[in-house]
Structures are given as structure tokens and as C-alpha cells.
Amino acid sequence: MTQLAHRIYIGTMASIVVLTFMVLLIKGIPYYSTSIEERFYHPDHALFKPSGVFGHGLGIVGTLLILIGVFGYQAKKRFRWLTTRFGRLKYWLEFHIFLCSLGPVMILFHTAFKFGGIVSISFWSMVAVVASGIIGRFIYVQIPRTIEGRELSIQEIQGAKANLSEVLNSVYHLNEASKQAIFSSIQAQPVALDNGLFGKMMHQYFEDKKTLRNVRQTLLANEVPKGDVRQVANLVGNEITLNRRIERLQIMRKLFRYWHVAHLPFALIMLVIMVVHVVVTLMMGARWVF
């Protein structure tokens, strides 16, 4: 998958989640904004209530999406015959995140924003799973990996770095002032902060953006062609990103291990109570359109 195709792939899935939420909200807001005591008299109560045709259908579809997302991704990771087929693990992870975001959106509207009993434990566990999944995705992308998704060692990361000096000399033939500005930007030391890892990363992010702007301005001032400026800036940006990731590698690996400890129990609680809820619902005689 090319970089453009991958961006379209991610953008399409994100748009589906956002549009689904907006459509469901607009469609049902007259009902959902009605107080719990008065909903029974609302003309759309039979449709939007959790056991209604629309509400119940959202619960069924949302549950299926979560189950497919969870067990499909786990199967891709664990079964050898799947590891080399049907796409890369990276894309499966992104599809897992998509399904496990879209499913909870549907279940949220299935509940009609009414939480109570043991099901509320499953719901808030689901919220915790989604929130921790977003955090986990952020940590995951901070750890350099192969195109198949395998984590790179520090030696492999160092080996993947291009020799920027050789590239600049052999391809772009920049003058000394331009090269000096580039090397100074890459060798700049991060500022130590007292407001934690996230605050430090945010500071570094804006500092790196500022550095790239300065590099572009320096290259343009030295009359480097605009096409070359863009390509050199991309090279410098990649170099800075790799340096930052090497700097944070051990911390991110530890955080990723701790994340698993927090993410998996919430996922198990959600799935177990979800299964109990479905079984009890069926035993009580509740049916959908069949």
C-alpha cells in the first residue's frame, strides 16, 4: 500500500466513525434528549429504546464489530498461516482500532444513554478499552518497526538511518551555509523539562516544527530550488524523528508493557459481561426482527 493509499485508508475509516456518530446523534437526539421518565410517551420510543428495532439492531451490529475486531486481530497475530497472508499486521491493527471504535459508538446509542446494573460495568470497561486503545496506538507508533510490524532493535534503527551528509553532498550539492544549518538542527539537544514525558514530547514537537521552518528558510535564502528544499526538509524531518524515537525507545517499550497490563483486563471484563448480557437477553425471550 502506497503512502497516499494508506492515508486514504486511514481517513476513510476515521470519517466513517465520525459520520456514524453524527448521523445517529442527529437522527435520535429528539428522543435521547427526552428525560428517562418521559421517554415511554415519546413517539419514537418503540424504535430507539434498547430493545427497539433500531436500538436493538445497533447493539447487535456494534457487538459483532467489536468481536470481529478483537478476535480477527488476535488470530492474525497468533496463527502462523495468517501471519504471512491477507495483508500486513500494521493494517490489521488499524482495522482493529476502526472496528473497536465504530462498535462502541453503536453500542453507546443502543443504550440510549441509560446506564445501570451490571451492564454499566461492561459499558465503562468498553470506554476504558477505547481510551486505552488510543493511548496504546500512540505508544505503538513511537516504537520503530519493520513494514510487517516487527519491533526494531536499537542496532537496526541505527542501521536504517541514512547517511545524511553523503546524501546532501551527492544528490543536492548544497553550499556550506545550508549544510551547517541542517547539521546544527539535527544535533540540537532537547531541553530538559520538569512537567513529565508528555509535556517534554509536546515541547519537542513544536521545537522540531520550528527547526524545520528554520531549515527551509535557510535553504530558500541560499537560493536552493523549492523542489530540493521540500525533499531536503523531508530528509531532515525523518532524521529528527528517528533521533527522537531512539531517545525515547526504552521508555516507550516500558510504557507499552504497562499498557498491556491495563488494556487487557478491561477488554476481558467488557467481553465477559457482554456475553452474559446477550445470553440473559436471549433467555428472557428478547428477539430482534427474527
Q: Which residue, 244, 213, 245, is CA-closest to 229?
A: 213
- Residue 27, pLDDT > 80, answer yes
pLDDT at res. 80:
65
Q: Mean of the pLDDT values across residues 118-141?
A: 76
Residues in the chain: 290
> In this structure, which long-range contacts are made by residues 272-280, counting pairs with CB atoms below 8 Å and at least 24 apart in sequence?
273/118, 273/119, 273/121, 273/122, 273/125, 274/63, 274/66, 274/122, 276/118, 277/118, 277/119, 277/122, 278/63
pLDDT (tens digit per residue) in 227-243: 777 877 787 777 777 77
Q: Mean of the pLDDT values across residues 42-68?
A: 88
pLDDT at res. 20:
94
- Residue 185, pLDDT > 80, answer no
Higher pLDDT pick, 52 / 165: 52
**Distance, CA of 180 to CA of 228 (rounded, Å):** 16
Q: For the whole model, what pTM was predicted? A: 0.66
pLDDT (tens digit per residue) in 267-281: 888 888 888 877 877
- Residue 31, pLDDT > 60, answer yes
Which pLDDT band, with edges at 50, 70 and 90, does 151 fall under? Answer: low
Tell me which of 13-17, 80-84, 144-148, 233-237 is least confident. Answer: 144-148
Which pLDDT band, with edges at 50, 70 and 90, does 166 fall under? Answer: low
Which pLDDT band, with edges at 50, 70 and 90, does 26 fall under? Answer: very high
Q: Mean of the pLDDT values across residues 94-117?
A: 85
Which pLDDT band, with edges at 50, 70 and 90, does 210 fall under? Answer: confident
Domain ranges across the chain = 3-153+254-283
- Write down the residue that cell numbers 451492564 correspond to: 119
Mean pLDDT across the chain, nearest whole number? 77
Q: Which residue, 128, 129, 125, is CA-closest to 273?
A: 125
- Residue 121, pLDDT > 80, answer no
pLDDT at res. 194:
54
Burial class (CB in 10 A: 0-12, 13-18, 19+), 126: buried
Answer yes or no: are the C-beta atoms of 100 and 137 closer than 8 Å.
no
